[in-house]
Amino acid sequence: MTLGIILTILGLVGYISNVLLIQKYLNNRTPGILDKYEKLPDGSYAWEHTAGVGVVPKWVSIIGLLGVGCLIIGIIIIMFSFFI
């Protein structure tokens, strides 16, 4: 159970730091792209077009993927500890 709690906390920290780093990199490299109400002429938001163009470093995405994995595994371990 302790391992599950530790993994869940690490997962949450990893995911939250991923989101904050993504916001930081998007604001630094493309200022104003995160404006919530600014739409492009085609009806989409500007931040939707940043996927896959290298604005955010890959290591930031890896932190998010590891965080989500730790979160899922931690929750599974906690659930199994209640049944065993």
Residues 20-30: tens digit of each pLDDT = 998 898 888 87
64 — pLDDT class (breaks 50, 70, 90): very high
The answer to whether residue 36 scores a pLDDT higher than 70 is no
- Taking the CA atoms of residue 64, residue 65, residue 71 and residue 76 in that order, the dihedral angle to the nearest 10 degrees is 170
Contact in structure between 78 and 2 (CB atoms under 8 Å): no
Contact in structure between 69 and 18 (CB atoms under 8 Å): no
